[in-house]
């Protein structure tokens, strides 16, 4: 099992239950032209904007003139806007899951799916051990996850299955290409989630982990105060306020809970903060890439002398020749760190695939010294791959 896993929001949000549509009114500050600027006092454009309706051509022309004016200045203006939320449009619809289904879906991500979401020869007995249930429960939930299109699986042996997590390839797409992002879970956080007995509490806690990972929080906000009516929006109709409150009475290491009438305050354990989880994942990837380079380079003198190499490096060497001999991979500690940060956003396997491309394109053609910034090169190739993938789809 991996120590960390990326869980796509496009998978976990429907599993928890799509929220009912709602709208909210909020105040935001927007930059606007500052007409108190002394340069504007006798300007005809200011007079036109004050006198003519917004729909008029004269008004629009004056605004264009102001926007292109070299003396313009801006100030912030508070405006009220209505924001409409429709999770079904954002994440798509699949039936919500019960506790064992949610836990199994999360657990599968820790068995190192490849970049297509495929996990080969999973041991059903091990899955049952991890979830502290019997194997029949695992088989039943594999069937359920398949019928709801979360996964597909085939039985590969008596107690083994090969699984593909659907939509896995979309986890790393940018938002404008259909990506919906992901949350990072450590195995410790997973184990805490598995230990939760209440289905209602499990759904609420996972929702909060997603909420605290929002872009405007930057993964560093540790306290979130939520109105019970907002919590209820993502739960089945039977979840009345009393049920919600009682489900959160059992202590957990993930959140400290404080209930005040209609407001529930969630204070997350700092070690489970989204930013902290990603920092820990980066550190883990640094170890993995460092070990990969060491293992790879141990194969170089062997392949140069005998043509033999470890099977896991087959994609680097198969059908390739190099008259001057295969070259060592050389990444500095700083480059390893940058590569690891990229892997947090694109996954370890995607980055390894790109390193393979770079090795064939640069190292095998003796152009490795042309690489000025290996991190920037990896990032550029990945962006191109995802853009082309989206166009092909």
Write down the pLDDT at residue 39. Answer: 83
Q: Is the model more confident about 94 or about 222?
A: 94
Q: What are the tokens at 35? A: 């007409």
Q: What is the pLDDT of residues 188-213, one digit of tens each?
A: 999 999 999 999 999 999 999 998 88
Look at the block and give the residue holding tokens 């429709």.
86
Q: Cα separations (Å) of 293 from 10, 259, 347?
A: 33, 51, 17
Averaged pLDDT for residues 24-31: 77
Q: What is the pLDDT of residues 163-194, one digit of tens each?
A: 999 999 888 887 777 778 889 999 999 999 99
Residue 261: pLDDT over 70: yes
Alpha helices, H only, the chain: 9-16, 44-51, 57-67, 87-91, 99-108, 124-131, 135-147, 187-194, 199-211, 228-232, 241-247, 274-306, 314-317, 333-346, 348-358, 374-392
Q: State the pLDDT at residue 392.
A: 43
In what order do the strands lie in the sheet containing 160-165? 118-123, 160-165, 151-157
Q: Determine how many CB atoms are found less than 10 A away from the CB of residue 171.
A: 23
276-299 residue pLDDT tens: 888 999 999 999 999 999 999 999
pLDDT digits (tens, 9 = 90+) for 345-376: 888 999 999 999 999 999 988 888 899 999 99
Q: Is residue 391 scored above 60 in pLDDT? A: no
The residue ranking higher by pLDDT, 342 or 31, is 342
Structure confidence at residue 43 (pLDDT): 92
pLDDT at 390 over 70: no
Q: What is the dihedral of CA 166, 169, 172, 178, to 10 degrees?
A: -80
How far is CA 254 from each of CA 124, 128, 186, 194, 222, rounded to the nearest angstrom?
Answer: 27, 23, 12, 12, 11
Mean pLDDT of 372-381: 93
315-329 residue pLDDT tens:
898 888 877 789 999
Q: How far apart are CA 203 and CA 247, in angstroms?
A: 10
Question: Quick check: 304 and 325 in contact, CB under 8 A?
Answer: yes
DSSP 36-75: TSGGGTT-HHHHHHHHS-TTSHHHHHHHHHHHT-TT--EE
What residue ranges define each of the domains in the chain, with the CATH number in brackets? Answer: 1-21+86-195 (1.10.10.10), 23-82 (no CATH), 274-392 (no CATH)
pTM equals 0.75
Whole-number Å distance between alpha carbons of 155 and 165: 15
């Amino acid at each position: 099992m991996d120590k960390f896993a990326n869980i796509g929001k496009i998978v976990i949000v429907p599993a928890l239950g799509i929220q009912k549509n709602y709208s909210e009114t909020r105040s935001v500050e927007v930059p606007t032209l500052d007409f108190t600027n002394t340069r504007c006092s006798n300007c005809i454009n200011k007079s036109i904007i004050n006198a003519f309706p917004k729909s008029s051509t004269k008004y629009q022309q004056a605004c264009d003139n102001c926007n292109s004016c070299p003396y313009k200045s801006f100030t912030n203006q508070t405006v009220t806007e209505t924001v409409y939320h429709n999770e079904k449009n954002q994440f798509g619809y699949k039936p919500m899951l019960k506790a064992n289904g949610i836990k199994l879906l999360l657990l599968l991500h820790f068995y190192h799916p490849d970049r297509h979401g495929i996990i080969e020869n999973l041991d059903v007995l091990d899955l049952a051990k991890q979830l502290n249930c019997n194997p029949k429960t695992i088989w039943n939930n594999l069937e359920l996850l398949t019928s709801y299109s979360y996964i597909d699986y085939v039985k590969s042996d008596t107690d083994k299955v090969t699984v593909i997590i659907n939509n896995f390839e979309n986890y790393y797409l940018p938002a404008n290409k259909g990506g919906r992002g992901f949350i990072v879970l450590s195995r410790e956080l997973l184990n805490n989630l598995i230990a939760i007995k209440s289905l209602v509490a499990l759904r609420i806690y996972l929702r909060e982990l997603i909420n605290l990972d929002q872009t405007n929080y930057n993964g560093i906000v540790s306290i979130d105060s939520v109105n019970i009516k907002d919590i209820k929006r993502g739960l089945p109709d039977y979840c009345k306020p009393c049920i919600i409150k009682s489900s959160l009475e059992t202590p957990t290491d993930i959140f400290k809970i404080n209930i005040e009438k209609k407001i529930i305050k969630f204070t997350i354990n700092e070690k489970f903060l989204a930013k902290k989880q990603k920092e820990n994942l980066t550190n883990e990837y640094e170890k993995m890439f460092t070990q990969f380079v060491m293992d790879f380079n141990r194969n170089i003198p062997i392949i140069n002398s005998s043509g033999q190499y470890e099977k896991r490096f087959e994609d680097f060497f198969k059908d390739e020749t190099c008259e001057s001999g295969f070259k060592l991979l050389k990444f500095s500690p700083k480059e390893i760190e940058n590569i690891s940060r990229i892997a947090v956003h694109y996954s370890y396997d995607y980055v390894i695939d790109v390193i393979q491309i770079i090795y064939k394109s640069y190292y095998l053609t003796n152009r490795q010294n042309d690489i000025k910034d290996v991190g920037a090169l990896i990032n550029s190739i990945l962006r191109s791959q995802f853009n082309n993938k989206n166009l092909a789809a």
